[in-house]
Structure 1
Amino acid sequence: MSVISFDTVIEFIETLSIPEQEELFELIKKRRVERRHSEIVKNAQETFEAMEQGTAKRGNLEQLRSYLLADEEE
């Protein structure tokens, strides 16, 4: 698969009609939403698996903050 530069992509998009550009932008937006949805589903599945295995960390916001800050200090 050949790589196309970002500038080339922009130049190509500018050759499209306004309706074609709008359709392209909507398609990109839809695909980004779908990709994010898939990431959320995957994260949820991993969390449920961790809960079932007893490896999920539980706590309130302050405990989570302390846990995350402790990781930064290491």
Structure 2
Amino acid sequence: MTLSTFDNILDAIETLSPNDQIALFNIVQRRLSDRRRTEIATNIAKAKQDYQSGNVFRGTVDEAIAELNR
């Protein structure tokens, strides 16, 4: 999104009533929360899949560091 588009959106929001601005804020906040929740669920599903297929590292912190330094 270009800066001018973003500025246009902000200008449009300014024309809304305070109650509508609050409602818009709540809607955007809820959508962001839903998007983050979906991302977390996707990451959990991927982690479970990796765990079930044996694609995870198990060991101590020192072993993990040693593995990363290989």
Q: Give TM-score, length-normalised by structure 1.
A: 0.75
Gaps of at least 5 residues in structure 2 are none
- After TM superposition, the runs of 4+ consecutive aligned structure 1 residues lying more than 4 A away are none
- Residues 10 and 52 of structure 1: CA distance in aligned 2, closer, same or farther (over 3 Å): same
**Corresponding residue pairs, total:** 66
Identity %: 29
Query: How is 1:40-59 mapped onto 2 (pairs within 5 angstroms)?
Result: 40-59=40-59
Provide structure 1 residue ranges, at least 5 long, that are not aligned to the other structure.
Answer: none
TM-score scaled to structure 2, two decimals? 0.79
Query: Does the C-alpha gap of structure 1 residues 54 and 65 become closer, same or farther in structure 2, counting only changes over 3 Å?
Result: closer
The residue aligned with 2:37 is: 37
Q: CA deviation at 1:59?
A: 3.8
